[in-house]
Chain A
Amino acid sequence: MNLIKNPQLLDHLASAYALGTLRGGARRRFEALARVQAPVRTAALVWQTRLASMNELQTQSVPSPAVWTRIDNMLQGEKEAATLRAQRSAGLQAAAGETHLGEWLRSLLVWRGAAAVGALATVVAVVTGLNLRAELGGEVQALQAKLLTTPQIQYVAVLADGQAAASVLVTFDANSKKLTLQRVGSYQEAGDKSLQLWALPPAGGPRSLGVLGQDKLLRLTAGEGDIREVPTLAISLEPKGGVPSAGGPTGPVLFSGALIQKML
């Protein structure tokens, strides 16, 4: 059916469509055509607009005053609900992070929402105060945690070779009892050899502190007693895997240096 070539039929169908008396299959076919053909759609819209004026031509009548009261009550109810929601979300934001405090604040805020605006100011002040205290408390805790995890470097040694070229940097953290060795030179032992770290106390023989691996960074565990009062650290070249502590170094000492206690 080519409606566009038959403007009279198009106008007839469009007016019946807009009036609502075009029903069933005929209505569905008209709607399908309107979706693909703009002139059909336009004719339908023109008639919908024209007939919509029917709404404006009805005889006036005065409704009971109760109608406005009902509308007003509904809007007031909506307004109060919205205010309550806003206060609730503000309370949630203020108390974010502190679950128990948050729940307490929320219930307080909801309860206060029903009360006067003056009371609200008090709540805001209380929330701000509590929030500030919670924030400060949190900060102190965080700092304490940070202090505990931050290595406290108490001893430092730079072990150098005969030409005073730095090769290994040694630090000792008394908190975690960790010796950290960092190779800073280019020295690389042969595959069948290992480097071994020794403490050279003023009295008694050298004490082995551990054997270095191939990594640039090595961590060894040592008691503070092993390190304190030791003026010098040394590294010797030993057979693969190192030698027992009791016998002392068996190979040449490659690097050595003074152990310095850092003042805090």
Chain B
Amino acid sequence: MTTEAHDLELIDLLDRVAEQEHVALKALYDLCAGKLFGLAVRVVGNREWAEDVLQESFISIWRSAGDYRASLSPPMAWLGLIVRSRGLDFLRRRTTSRSHVTQELDDGMAETLEGNSPCPMDTVQASEQALALHQCLGRLENRQREVVSLAYIRDLSHSELSLQLKLPLGTVKTWIRRGLDQLRQCMSHFA
């Protein structure tokens, strides 16, 4: 299915979800749960929490699908923002209730940082806009791409990244700065 046809299908489902059609929510879930669950895992760092986040996300999609049209975003981008923000809420609640626990980096992420795969990112179901970002991220060094990606997905500051990745603060700042510089140059071609 082409990106455009896929988007139209999702938009139609979102409209029907806004009309509180249960069948449409189920259809939307069947189409997107895998992609959105992958994102949730990445945000919160483990599958069990990610399942809670996915559940909360679909309840909030059920309640706010009527707002989708006003966002002017591709449907997957809008759904992704909901999942990420539910995921970040989940992490904030956990840190507030268990402030003594510092968040540990999950194994999967440590592997990605060390790995040499050209770009582990997945373009399945990605919008046109995401394909552009994917191309530009592909030109970054693995470590830079991973740090930039992690900073965004988990909403982490330089010092939080340095703590979690066990890297010197200066290194983190340099990777982020270089990564963003290259992204800016590359993305300007798509503007």
Contacts and interface: CB of A to CB of B under 8 A. Distances in A.
B121 to A, nearest CB: 4
B126 A21 contact: no
B46 to A, nearest CB: 11
Interface stretch (A49-57, A115-123, A157-165, A173-181): A49-57
B122 A60 contact: yes
A15 interface: yes
B127 A53 contact: yes
A52 B81 contact: yes
Contacts of A247: none
Interface residues of A, number: 33
B129 A53 contact: yes
A99 to B, nearest CB: 35
Interface in B68-93: 73, 76-77, 80-81, 83-84
Contacts of A56: 35, 39, 76-77, 80, 125-127, 130
Interface string A1-33: 000000000011001100111010000000000
A48 to B, nearest CB: 9
Interface string A72-88: 10110000000000000
A46 B188 CA distance: 11
Given A11-B184, A71-B55, A71-B59, A62 B39 contact: no
A256 B123 CA distance: 110
Contacts of B47: 61, 63
Task: Please classify the interface of chain A as helix (H, G, I), strand (E, B), loop, or mixed, using the class held by over half of its residues.
Answer: helix
Contact of B157 (A11, A23, A51, A72): A23
B155 A20 contact: yes
Given A11-B184, A55-B84, A60-B37, A19 B148 contact: yes
A67 B53 CA distance: 10
Contact of A55 (B25, B39, B62, B157): B39
B124 A60 contact: yes
Given A12-B180, A15-B184, A62 B62 contact: no
B166 to A, nearest CB: 18
Interface in B122-172: 122-127, 129-130, 132-134, 137, 148-149, 151-153, 155-158
Contact of A68 (B29, B121, B125): B29
Nearest to B37: A63
Contacts of A61: 34, 37-38, 41, 47, 50
Contacts of B29: 68, 71
Contact of B133 (A46, A53, A68): A53
B13 interface: no
Contacts of B176: 19, 21
Interface string B110-124: 000000000011111
Given A56-B77, A57-B126, A63-B37, 17 more contacts: A11-B184, A19-B151, A19-B152, A21-B158, A52-B77, A55-B77, A56-B126, A57-B123, A58-B35, A58-B41, A58-B153, A59-B120, A60-B38, A60-B122, A61-B47, A63-B50, A67-B37
The 5 closest A-B pairs by CB, nearest first: A55-B80, A53-B130, A57-B121, A56-B130, A60-B34
